Structure 1
Amino acid sequence: MTSPDDSSAPQTPYADRCYRSPAGIASGVLLLLLAAWLGGDAVFRGSGRTPWLTLAGLLCVVPLIVAFTLRPAVWAGEKRLLVRNPFRTITVPWGCVEDVRAGYSSELFAGGAKYQLWSIPVSLRKRKAAARRGVDEAAVRAPADQAIEEIRELAARHASDDGGGVLVRWAYEVLVPVGVGVVLLVVLGVLG
């Protein structure tokens, strides 16, 4: 009996990577559970206009919680970098990446503009702790510094790739429900 030969499978030099904030995801889930608990209580036990005001408030607040905690992500692919921030999605071909930095926040410079990388939070405390632990800085790095270094290496490796320009798309799936919720809150407040 022979074993399957995996050598015929195409070997990609680079697998897609996704950078997200575990603390952001955890806090988002907890905030959504809290909103469901408090909002559900107000909707089912409230009287008068309270249920309607609560539903309008939830329509406004829940997309914001999702936008700032669960939505941010950075995907580094073979051909491009995709940055999903709370209100925008930025697609950057590797050839357009000018620089990636992590000072007080993580930043991407591409196409003459600067974009924040919300899903790679910089922790100065973790950076100082990593510096204290290791004498060799290359061996011990803060998580944000490691992620930025990986993205920087990928940008340098694929710098000659040309995939067009930077594409920015607004997140209407977040902005529309928030806008509708605000309008409903104003209308309910005026009619009150």
Structure 2
Amino acid sequence: MSTPQPQSSSPQPSGPVSKDRAYRSPAGISGGVLVLALVLWLGIDALVAGDGSTRWKALAALVFLVPLVAAYTVRPAVFANDDRMRVRNPFRVIVLPWSRVDSFRSAYTNEVFTEGGAKYQLWSVPVSLRGRKKAARQEDRRALGGAGGRRRGSVLGGMGQFGSRGDGVGSGAVEADGPVRAEADKVMDELRELWEARQAAEGSRGEVTVRWAYEVIVPVVVGAVALGVLLGVG
């Protein structure tokens, strides 16, 4: 008699899970790394060279400042795949299935809105007014150079249409690449396109979840309280 094989009760995925696209701020990360290096250097120096009370204050300051600086600079990120987007902000992680997203807005900050009217800021995609002005100037230069580029292309046997982006050589570059956009605006365009394509998909259904980042909040609070007590005591 053959022995029946046990059957797994856990459901198997119907298809491969799409890979997350990660969006971070290189400027924020580089700035955060520099600030963290400065804080650690000063804090460790105080721990090594200071007296008893100074060492405790330095330790409390490190416990307070290191996670706080990291939370606002290194930690923020947006992860997006075919089913949902996950927003990792300084003190919260928000998971938004595409079916629950209502709109995106780009003004002085980049934000996502849910169907219920909740608003969440995308910390890792900061708006750069300077970047927008630079992109507008590049677009103006390319538009003004379009006619000249077409004339050069006719002389070169049509080669002008393969000019590099933003160099104003030929109208083909404008049509192929589209308007010049700031990096943050490009990211928002990608998120909007993914949302519009996937909001009605079966795998994009679900509920919005918000989780507080206690791994950041707890040491910040503990360090702040300890530092306040030590400074008060003297």
* Aligned position for 2:41: 37
Deviation, structure 1 residue 190: 4.0
Any residues of structure 2 matched to 1:32-71 within 5 Å, and which? 32-71=36-75
Deviation, structure 1 residue 189: 3.1
In structure 2, what residue type is equivalent to 1:168?
V
* Aligned position for 2:91: 87
Q: Secondary structure at the match of 1:107?
A: strand
Query: Given that residues 102 and 144 in structure 1 are in contact (C-alpha distance below 8 angstroms), is that contact kept between their aligned partners in structure 2?
Result: no
- Name the CA distance, whole Å, in 2 between partners of 1:189 and 1:15: 48
Encode CA deviations 1:138-191: one digit per residue, 9 max, x unaligned.
Answer: 331000110001000111001113421110101101100011112212332344
Any residues of structure 2 matched to 1:1-150 within 5 Å, and which? 15-110=19-114, 111-134=116-139, 135=143, 138-150=178-190
* Aligned position for 2:164: none
* Aligned position for 1:185: 227
Encode CA deviations 1:73-103: one digit per residue, 9 max, x unaligned.
Answer: 0011111000000010000000011111211
* Aligned position for 1:160: 200
In structure 2, what residue type is equivalent to 1:28?
G
Query: Given that residues 89 and 168 in structure 1 are in contact (C-alpha distance below 8 angstroms), is that contact kept between their aligned partners in structure 2?
Result: yes
- Name the CA distance, whole Å, in 1 between partners of 2:24 and 2:79: 9
- Name the CA distance, whole Å, in 2 between partners of 1:188 and 1:132: 53
Q: Secondary structure at the match of 1:101?
A: strand
Gaps of 5+ in 2: 1-15, 144-173
Q: Secondary structure at the match of 2:86?
A: strand
Deviation, structure 1 residue 132: 1.4
Percent identity of equivalent pairs: 54
* Aligned position for 1:6: none
Instruction: Sort the Cα spacing of 1:138 and 1:104 in 2 relative to 1 into closer, same or farther, 3 A.
Output: farther
Larger Rg: 2
- Name the CA distance, whole Å, in 2 between partners of 1:155 and 1:146: 14
Q: Secondary structure at the match of 1:140?
A: coil
Encode CA deviations 1:89-123: one digit per residue, 9 max, x unaligned.
Answer: 00000001111121111000013201000000111
- Name the CA distance, whole Å, in 1 between partners of 2:136 and 2:209: 37
Indicate the RMSD between aligned Cα atoms, in angstroms.
1.9
- Name the CA distance, whole Å, in 1 between partners of 2:180 and 2:231: 55
Size of the alignment, in residue pairs? 182
Q: Secondary structure at the match of 1:74?
A: strand
In structure 1, what residue type is equivalent to 2:73?
T
* Aligned position for 2:217: 175
Q: Secondary structure at the match of 2:178?
A: coil
Deviation, structure 1 residue 17: 1.1
* Aligned position for 2:147: none
